[in-house]
Structure 1
């Protein structure tokens, strides 16, 4: 769908922008904020980078975990710098390489609000734990927070990490190289079946946490960690 200019948008906590294709609970990519200086530097029009919000400040000067207030009440937690993608090549040849590190900051909505064209943007004193820029770092950070007695499907794992389905092939690599104290046994396939070929004691470890398993598969939906809680972290 083409990007559409809106003078007013509604932000919903832990979900994103109402009506936006990227609005999804559990995703760290609910909002993309770009900068007018970057658009000018690369001769781009608003919307060319797939951004939702354009601000006059160089957004990349902020840090992961910081919280921006936009308008009267909307709060956005910054997660990580948005990586360039192949779609940018359709706008300008070589743009994906040239704009690396400057495409904008991704974020999660932490407080509902309505944003209007011309609203003030300010950096608040609130601070969340920073998320790593690299996928492996975010994998370690996320898996460490999966609560005992809960499991996460690989499809939801990719959602939580903010990566595409193409990263499915990297999950076995992450599992094999994970540190011994990382609770990787709480990750299961998209269909709920166990990953026993990568985690030899997975069934035993899950049963110790009173997770029900039948025919090598999670037998109750109640054991799945709700996506709405994926990034519900306490402020620092």
Structure 2
């Protein structure tokens, strides 16, 4: 699906644009993923060769509750801007270290509404479903890291900063340096919540 196909019927092009900094995957349920030159997104499934590939939920805690749930977490995206903030705070992080499939640059992922679409490279399209809910694995990875990816807003509500999750609407290859273009769903926009 091209970006032009999204525009109209209330969809709008976002002024945000960025690029892919790195792509990663892991065939097993490891916390971190391995950076690779290219990943293939498969429509309705996720990242080819990744442990979270599938129409139904693959995260072990979610499978234990109900393995028939739809997989709204096919792709995990996280920004280099968050990684830079964590590095400045003394945490050793790099692309893939926090389990993301796509490391982005130049896009405020956390400010996107539910349903925003990221057009990646020539043909791939990911629809944002919600926020990653950071868990104790982050703290096991590096002590003190969980507190850095969680916060509170002015009203005392929990703020999750560990990236966003999405589903693959259109497949394709994604590589470092590919452009990312954003389209926004019709208003009113819904704020991202954990998925």
Query: What interval of TM-score do these two structures reach, taking the shorter chain for normalisation?
Result: 0.5 to 0.7
The size of the alignment, in residue pairs, is: 135
1:115 aligned residue (174, 188, 194): 174
Which string of whole-angstrom CA distances, capped at 9 and with x for unpartnered residues, describes residues 124-144 of structure 1? 25569858625xxxxxxxxxx
Task: Please report the RMSD computed on the Cα atoms of aligned residues, expressed in angstroms.
Answer: 2.1
C-alpha contact 2:123 2:173 (8 A) present in aligned 1:
yes
2:104 aligned residue (38, 47, 55): 55
SS in 2 for 1:89: helix
The equivalent of 2:42 in structure 1 is 12
The structure in which a higher percent of residues are helix is 1
SS in 1 for 2:147: helix
1:46 aligns with 2:105: no
5+ residue gaps, structure 2: 1-27, 56-69, 88-92, 151-159
Distance in 1 (CA, whole Å) between partners of 2:96 and 2:170 is 24
TM-score (norm 1): 0.53
Aligned pairs (5 A) from 1:94-133: 94-100=144-150, 101-125=160-184, 133=193
5+ residue gaps, structure 1: 135-161, 163-236
Distance in 2 (CA, whole Å) between partners of 1:41 and 1:21 is 28
TM-score (norm 2): 0.63
Q: Work out which of the two has the higher radius of gyration on C-alpha atoms and give 1 or 2.
A: 1
Following TM superposition, where does structure 1 have runs of at least 4 consecutive aligned residues deviating by more than 3 angstroms? Answer: 125-132
Distance in 2 (CA, whole Å) between partners of 1:31 and 1:131 is 19
The structure in which a higher percent of residues are strand is 2
Distance in 2 (CA, whole Å) between partners of 1:13 and 1:51 is 18
Give the deviation of 1:91 after TM superposition.
Answer: 2.9
Distance in 1 (CA, whole Å) between partners of 2:74 and 2:103 is 15
The equivalent of 1:37 in structure 2 is 81
Distance in 2 (CA, whole Å) between partners of 1:62 and 1:81 is 10
